[in-house]
Structure 1
Amino acid sequence: MKKRIATALISVLACTLAAGCGGSPAPSEEKLPPAATSTPEVPAKPVTLKLFIAPAVPEEYYEKRIAEPIRSKFPHITLERIARGPKLAELLASGNAPDIIFDGLTNLTPTLELDIPLSLDDLVKKHKFDLSKIDPGVLKEIRSYSKNGELVAWPQMTYLWALHYNKDIFDLFGIPYPKEGSTWEDLSELAVKLSRTHEGIEYRGFSPSTAHNRLQTQLSAPYVDPRTEKSVIGANAGWRKLFQFYKDVYSIPGNYPAGSKYNDAGKAFNVDKKMAMYPNLLTLPDPAKGMNMGLTTYPFFKDKPWVGPSGFMEVMVVSKTSKNPDVAFQVVAHLTSDEVQINNAKLGSIPVVTNPDAIKNLYAGNPLAKGIDFAPFFKLKPAESYGKTIHDAAGSKAIIKYLQEYIAGSIDLNTALNKADEELNMSVDEQKNK
């Protein structure tokens, strides 16, 4: 039962963090001598660090993956957790600014907009931390959030993506299960066969995702040109492809029956159990949930083989206002030590370190993972990073609005993209004039 609860906590947190979700090329990571694999000990005098947890993180998750490792390593450091509720701007105004902020990377825009993140590059050099320990793709993605390619956050864990499918629905219609290496186009063909009414029940094939940013990052489609600060939605081929693909999927007869809602895949698959395929962050099959669920690799576009979403990870931000930046760095850096990363992998956190032992220990001892070969899921590589800006949240809002109108047939594709451009550019101008 404890293993099932732990797995459920991981799923809840993953969905929360990943919901938010061109620029200067990321500089190559500086590799220090192999001997410099950890930061030196901080002075053992009592220090209190305020830690703001932005998403709704379950207490058990926080204790096991963050609080306990820090208490064990640094008994003189007290983490004062700021209760979720107030926004960062309110905390800053009240004089209760946090030293460290925990959030999903794709949700980092508000933090960047407030100019909170401290560049960690100098602290990396000062404390002789060997960046070759960290997955270079992870570091490159974090740097894409800064105009100057700075390390504005520190990674804690990333995610695996998977295609979940309801075996009972496939068996009901005598259709073979989706195969490893299936493309989005393959899933569309399957959806045509699976979207049908049987004994009064309307079954659906699949939905592209629970949020458009999965496919958006998979297509490396930016919202704004960081150099000109102008919307590039209408000019980018990736956005046109995304809009058209969503339209095609929602237009499959029976795949979007009356009462369905935009991006309601989670409920349709997990609760109603009427959707056959569910592409999302990997969740282990749990018989207690009343579904005969199968897993295979997350779909990719035919012209982008084995290219998956990018940028979905948990990060720690050290605040510029912190009076103890060295200690704060010591804390976040320890969470990427081999010891912590291996332990957290056993709990189901996907490591960000290059140590192969961390991957080997993924879900170790969890009965729900028995018999699952996780190797195929690691074949999917993150898409190429693109330059992020503080205007991306406004771009996402515009996309959601006009994508739904396009799916509903109230506007055509060109109009949808043009309107998204116009709305985003207006938002950029308003931001500049504040």
Structure 2
Amino acid sequence: MNRKQMNRIVCSLPLVALAVSGCSGGSNQANPSSAPTPSASGDASAAKPIADGKAVTLKVFQMNAGITDQEFQENFVDAVKKKFPNVTMELVRSGKGTTKEDLMTTGQFPEIILTTSWDMVQFQDASLLTDLNEYVRKSNFDLNQYEKNTIDSIKLYSDRGELFALPYSFNFEVLYYNKSIFDKSGIPYPKDGMTWEDVIALGKKLTAADPTIRAIDPNGLRWIAQSFLVPFVDPKTEKAAVSTDDWKYLFEMFKAIEDIPDDKKTKKGVAGFEKDQTLAMYASSGGRIGEIEDLSKQGINLNWDMVTFPLRQGHPSKEVATQAHVLAVSSTAKSKDDAFRVISYLTTDKEIQTRLAKGGAVPAIKDAEARSQFGKDFKTLQGKNVQAIFKNVYGTMGKPTRYDDVVKTAVQSALDKMIKEKLDVNTTIRFAQETADKAIEAEKARKK
């Protein structure tokens, strides 16, 4: 997922939760030079001046948790300068020559990490995360300021109660659809609460009326698996967990979508849905909203709307996974106290979090007023089914492992093989399990 695609992110929570959320946003704007003592309010930034008041630059390493240059300027550089006048924030994006491995090798890894909760395992495996519990205790910082799901998604990476990050905002998942394609065929629009079986049936109706379009892009197999809280690895055996009913359902679902007689030569993803506008339905995340708004400013209009993320028919769970964008203190930071004070401020200040909400993101803090500002800066959201975002129920996935990524690659390879060679699902699952187990063993050997 590229930077622009993920530059705006939204939490999906029940509406009742939004209505009753308390307001405890740690927005104390005291002059840092006054050096007040930490208080029970949970404002960890209200302490002695950072770096004893001397000019200092704190760098932020960003990987996958997309943020635009303008957003970084407003919500990091300007916001921190307002609170801590002697501090300058600098962004380092992961890329060619600036991967975490490159920066570790040169001893230049930044003090702060901006990433997603789903990517934390990569930093944990590289011993780059600092346990923040000590700094929480010293400053009487109140973790109850955050929505519980965001903290729970971070604590998944704890083996002994560690807290490796603070939540900055949520992501969300919905089914986007092109209203013009439905209008042309005279077929009713998708509705909230649909299952994937409903979506596939709609896709078949669309292509029966117009075979020149592509009916459905469910997004990547690994993404759907994570969304449905389906584990990749058994943490006890450290074997791939692919030979299960959950994975059989997923492979069968993707096969059913592939079997729809639509135009497979048309593009999928952002290109097909936003640019060519030949993709009828697209399961994706919050980044699409920002992209659609940007296209509108360029004079490219899309007749679209969204509904809740499709569920599995007959499955007892109605939850999809929580994904938070998080801020962490790197283990290489010279002053972890200072870095913690900065991230605690960024993740709880009401002004910052309200600005996030207006720009199409739902902050991680419990603040109904800030959340009510969601999307206020977006003209393209007017008249849209915004409530679909908040109707999904987010849950906590199983404990991640350091071998999840190699299994994700293996299952995608198996799906590609199934489609290309027209394999049956059972054969595909056996291939996926064998390939994934071999990949895990190879990864273990590589890290010895």
**1:176 is matched by which residue type in structure 2?**
P
Tell me the CA shift for residue 95 of structure 1.
1.2
- Among 146, 150, 160, which residue is 1:134 paired with? 146
Name the counterpart of 1:43: 49
Name the counterpart of 2:285: 281
Tell me the CA shift for residue 260 of structure 1.
5.2
- Among 207, 232, 248, which residue is 1:240 paired with? 248
Tell me the CA shift for residue 77 of structure 1.
1.9
Give 3-state SS (helix, strand or coil) of 1:202's partner. coil
Tell me the CA shift for residue 9 of structure 1.
8.2
Tell me the CA shift for residue 273 of structure 1.
1.3
**2:335 is matched by which residue type in structure 1?**
N
Name the counterpart of 2:82: 72
Supply the distance in 2 between the matched residues of 1:334 and 1:290 (Cα, whole angstroms): 38
The reply on whether 1:259 has 2:265 as its aligned counterpart is: yes
Name the counterpart of 2:184: 172
Name the counterpart of 1:28: none
Name the counterpart of 2:272: 268
Supply the distance in 2 between the matched residues of 1:115 and 1:75 (Cα, whole angstroms): 31
Give 3-state SS (helix, strand or coil) of 1:315's partner. strand
Supply the distance in 2 between the matched residues of 1:305 and 1:408 (Cα, whole angstroms): 33
For 1:104-143, list aligned pairs within 5 A.
104-143=116-155
**1:180 is matched by which residue type in structure 2?**
D
Name the counterpart of 1:144: 156
Name the counterpart of 2:327: 316
Deviations 1:280-312 (A, max 9, x none): 124446553232112222222233578353243
The reply on whether 1:332 has 2:378 as its aligned counterpart is: no
Name the counterpart of 1:294: 305
Note closer, same or farther for the CA distance 1:102–1:306 as it changes in structure 2 (3 Å cut). same
Give the alignment's TM-score, normalised by structure 2.
Answer: 0.82
Supply the distance in 2 between the matched residues of 1:106 and 1:372 (Cα, whole angstroms): 29
Supply the distance in 1 between the matched residues of 2:387 and 2:42 (Cα, whole angstroms): 27
Deviations 1:156-200 (A, max 9, x none): 1112322221111111111111112222111111001012474xx
Note closer, same or farther for the CA distance 1:148–1:385 as it changes in structure 2 (3 Å cut). farther
For 1:216-227, list aligned pairs within 5 A.
216-227=225-236
Q: Point out the more displaced range, 34-43 or 400-409.
A: 34-43
For 1:276-425, list aligned pairs within 5 A.
276-282=280-286, 283-284=288-289, 286=293, 288-304=299-315, 307-337=318-348, 338-372=350-384, 374-425=386-437
Tell me the CA shift for residue 202 of structure 1.
0.8
Q: Point out the more displaced range, 49-58 or 264-273.
A: 49-58
Which structure 1 residue ranges, 5 or more long, are not aligned?
A: 1-7, 16-32
Give 3-state SS (helix, strand or coil) of 2:260's partner. coil
Supply the distance in 2 between the matched residues of 1:109 and 1:129 (Cα, whole angstroms): 25
**1:259 is matched by which residue type in structure 2?**
K
CA contact (8 A) 2:407 2:440 kept: no
Which structure 2 residue ranges, 5 or more long, are not aligned?
A: 10-37
Report how many residues are paired: 402
Deviations 1:197-225 (A, max 9, x none): 74xx711221212x223321232111112
CA contact (8 A) 2:62 2:114 kept: yes
Supply the distance in 1 between the matched residues of 2:354 and 2:418 (Cα, whole angstroms): 45
Tell me the CA shift for residue 136 of structure 1.
0.6
Note closer, same or farther for the CA distance 1:268–1:163 as it changes in structure 2 (3 Å cut). same
Note closer, same or farther for the CA distance 1:137–1:12 as it changes in structure 2 (3 Å cut). closer
Give the alignment's TM-score, normalised by structure 1.
Answer: 0.85
The reply on whether 1:60 has 2:70 as its aligned counterpart is: yes
CA contact (8 A) 1:34 1:130 kept: no
CA contact (8 A) 2:231 2:397 kept: no
